[in-house]
């Protein structure tokens, strides 16, 4: 099976692919049978340029930029890498909660800039505790459940809601911290609208390790500029572009979409991608097909 990958994926499993090319599709490629992507756009035009394509294997659990319906119409299977990145993503969500609530990066910058002038002071850098706080988890799937498990170690009260179902507005009103763990779909785009962001209590913290489009980004920036809430953001609407107004704010922690970025997790993701390619080569059932 001729494989075209948009990049070389990390981990030892990669070396099991025998006919793989790293590059982009700049012209029709009738030889390519499997396309490996990291949630890059796969649309009708791209599919038309790959007439022999049998498989799109996505390096990641989210596949919102892949036109699954168009793939299905052409008989092209789509796979992703669920399960193996739950722990790493949950860990980062907790790290962002702590960093934002305890103002860790503000303190780091102060020390590096030479602004720490007394050995200890009761005044500056008063943060908010995570221990005992109420955590609202929007999206109680594998990752949301892993976050809930970790939150219990901080004696947090956990309120879970499944995206648009249940008492989302009530959870937003009651939570000290809100963590987002829903896929980006037509139903979840803009789920946290300007009106819903306004429901967050003063001093609340919003953490997003899901997709930027789940939140009305402009409204979120307005809330952060006003200083009413804080945030930890790993994802943005138009990556790698980050809204300019966020860059100088002290009440937001920004990371470059690194929720799954651990050596162990990325290697496990590659393992699943390669297993799906090998299964397709052998004519066996795919390991993690997208429904």
Catalytic residues: 211, 239, 257
Task: Please report the DSSP string for 117-174 in residue order.
Answer: -SS--SSS------TT-EEEEE--SHHHHHHHHHHHTTT-EEEEE-TTSS-HHHHHHH
Q: Alpha-carbon distance 33 to 99, whole Å?
A: 44
CB-based contact 190:219 (threshold 8 Å)? no
What per-residue string of b and e applies to 238-255 under the rule 16 or more CB within 10 Å gives b? eeeebbeebeebebbbbb
Q: Which two tokens stand for residue 116?
A: 């720490």
Q: Alpha-carbon distance 236 to 220, whole Å?
A: 11
Spatial CA neighbour of 229 closest among 188, 173, 181, 182: 173
């Amino acid at each position: 099976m001729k494989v075209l990958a948009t990049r070389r994926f990390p981990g030892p499993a990669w070396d099991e692919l025998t006919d793989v090319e790293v590059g982009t599709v700049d012209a029709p490629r009738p030889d390519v049978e499997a396309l490996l992507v990291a949630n890059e756009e796969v649309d009708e035009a791209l599919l038309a340029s790959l007439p022999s394509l049998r498989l799109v294997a996505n390096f990641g659990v989210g596949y919102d930029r892949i036109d699954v319906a168009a793939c299905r119409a052409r008989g092209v299977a789509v796979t992703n890498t669920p399960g193996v990145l739950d722990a790493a993503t949950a860990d980062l969500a907790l790290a962002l909660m702590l960093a934002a609530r305890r103002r860790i990066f503000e303190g780091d910058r102060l020390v590096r800039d030479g602004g720490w002038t007394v050995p200890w002071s009761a005044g500056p850098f008063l943060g908010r505790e995570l221990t005992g706080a109420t955590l609202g988890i929007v999206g109680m799937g594998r990752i949301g459940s892993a976050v809930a498990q970790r939150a219990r170690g901080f004696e947090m009260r956990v309120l879970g809601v499944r995206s648009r179902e249940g008492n989302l507005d009530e959870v937003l009103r009651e939570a000290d911290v809100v963590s987002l763990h829903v896929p980006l779909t037509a139903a979840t785009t803009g789920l946290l609208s300007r009106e819903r962001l306004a429901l967050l209590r003063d001093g609340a913290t919003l953490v997003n390790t899901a997709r930027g489009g789940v939140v009305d980004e402009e409204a979120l920036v307005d809330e952060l500029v006003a200083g009413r809430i804080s945030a930890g953001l790993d994802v943005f609407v138009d990556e790698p572009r980050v809204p300019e107004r966020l860059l100088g704010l002290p009440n937001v922690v920004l990371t470059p979409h690194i929720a799954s970025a651990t050596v162990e997790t990325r290697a496990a993701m590659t393992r699943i991608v390669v297993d799906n390619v090998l299964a397709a080569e052998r004519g066996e059932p795919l390991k993690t097909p997208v429904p």
